[in-house]
A = this chain, B = another copy of it.
Amino acid sequence: MKPIQWSGGKLRLLDQTALPHQEIYLEISDYREAVRAIKALQVRGAPAIGIAAGYGIALGARSIKASSIKAFQKEMEHVLEDFAASRPTAVNLFWTINRMRRALSTADSRGEAVEALEKEARLIQRQQSAAMAVLSRIGSSLIDDNCTILTHCNTGQLATGVEYGTALGVIKAAAEQGKKVSVYADETRPLLQGARLTTWELERLKIPVTLITDSMAGHFISRGKIDCVLVGADRIAANGDTANKIGTYSVAVLAGENGIPFYVAAPLSSIDISIVSGDHIPIEERGREEVLEFQGQRIAPQKVRAANPAFDVTPHRYITAIVTEKGIIRPPYKRNLKSAMQEGQQCRKPG
């Protein structure tokens, strides 16, 4: 399964809104289609959005006809802005945009720029692939044999666009080491990434999974059925506060209340050291029809008001540890996240 591919100057995306019923690949050659695919969650998951945006920006570069590098760079800014406006919460998107902008600034001609942007997009996917493989292996040390893990939303290959996921990557790595693991998957309303995508990925990996509604997580935690909670992240602030799919905060509180560990797994590209705390993370508010409808079927009376924040923020005090490709980070997060980020910077320089 390759959810994000680049070949022949085109972006190929596995349409996640059609899963698990249909496996449809989108062939994208217009960058605006890539923006639309991100907005519509056809590609989703913080690391996957970052990778897809890289290729989408490379597509945008191909479409610009300006021959002077100055005019080219100016037009490219509109492309970058279109991607920046697609989804506000996952920081990987902005991390990619910054990298692409840097690559763009080094080019001396249109031809060089197109080439540099495509090269950078490929590099992002390669580096993220390596990062996810490493963090999965590192995180697997937290998973005991015969462990039952609760997870929320989808954090597998689909969410990262590479071979390993974040939270599901850790689970996959543990299973590959011969550990017997089983998973309780929250369905993750409103868009059911848990029911549609996590169960689908775990079945392919032959890891036993039990689907539950989000409202059941507390029940199973309190009855001692869950050994630990493991989730991904859309943006981690400098103090460790973590924005992730709506419902994550509740599961973190329930884990803490019942004395089981709550782990976050995320690459450094999901860490936003520029903001001091979760209070500053922008939370995307999506359309109310996602709550009022269920796969297109109306579930509430016609005029009912609904709220639809797509993410919530889990304060760092509920987080037992954060698994990254630079190791398992524990409190105090402010100091330890900073060190990991500096190490990450140093590693990137020679490459």
Cross-interface CB contact of A300 among B20, B294, B299, cutoff 8 Å: B20
Say whether B306 contacts A210, CB under 8 Å.
yes
Cross-interface CB contact of A250 among B215, B298, B303, cutoff 8 Å: B215
Q: Which residues of B contact A297 (CB under 8 A)?
A: 294-295, 297
Q: How far is the CB of A198 from chain B (nearest CB, A)?
A: 9
Q: Nearest residue in B to A256 (C-beta to C-beta)? A: B257
Complex CA–CA separation, A305 to B247 (angstroms): 22
Say whether A199 contacts B300, CB under 8 Å.
yes
Q: Which of A292-325 contact B (CB under 8 A)?
A: 292, 294-295, 297-301, 303-309, 312
Q: Nearest residue in B to A186 (C-beta to C-beta)? A: B215
- A340 contacts the other chain (Cβ, under 8 Å)? no
- A246 contacts the other chain (Cβ, under 8 Å)? yes
- A188 contacts the other chain (Cβ, under 8 Å)? yes
The bracket for how many chain A residues form the interface is: 35 or more
Complex CA–CA separation, A210 to B217 (angstroms): 23
Cross-interface CB contact of A213 among B210, B214, B217, B249, cutoff 8 Å: B214
Say whether A214 contacts B189, CB under 8 Å.
yes
Q: Please judge, given known A-B contacts A213-B189, A291-B187, whether A250 and B218 are in contact too, CB under 8 Å.
A: yes
Cross-interface CB contact of A218 among B211, B222, B249, cutoff 8 Å: B249
Q: How far is the CB of A195 from chain B (nearest CB, A)?
A: 5
Say whether B203 contacts A219, CB under 8 Å.
no
Say whether B249 contacts A222, CB under 8 Å.
yes
Q: Please judge, given known A-B contacts A254-B250, A254-B253, whether A292 and B218 are in contact too, CB under 8 Å.
A: no
Complex CA–CA separation, A306 to B210 (angstroms): 5
Cross-interface CB contact of A307 among B220, B306, B307, cutoff 8 Å: B220
Q: How far is the CB of A150 from chain B (nearest CB, A)?
A: 12
Q: Nearest residue in B to A201 (C-beta to C-beta)? A: B301
Cross-interface CB contact of A305 among B209, B295, B309, cutoff 8 Å: B209
Say whether A299 contacts B195, CB under 8 Å.
yes
Say whether A212 contacts B250, CB under 8 Å.
no
Cross-interface CB contact of A257 among B196, B212, B257, cutoff 8 Å: B257
Q: Nearest residue in B to A252 (C-beta to C-beta)? A: B218
Give A contacts to B, CB under 8 Å. 20-21, 184, 186-190, 192, 195-196, 199-200, 203, 208-220, 222, 246-247, 249-250, 253-254, 257, 291-292, 294-295, 297-301, 303-309, 312
Q: A203-B301, A213-B291, A218-B247 are in contact. List 9 more A-B contacts (CB 8 A).
A: A21-B298, A186-B215, A187-B189, A190-B213, A203-B304, A211-B306, A214-B247, A219-B312, A295-B299
8 closest cross-chain pairs (CB), A and B: A215-B247, A218-B250, A189-B213, A219-B312, A214-B215, A211-B306, A20-B301, A199-B304
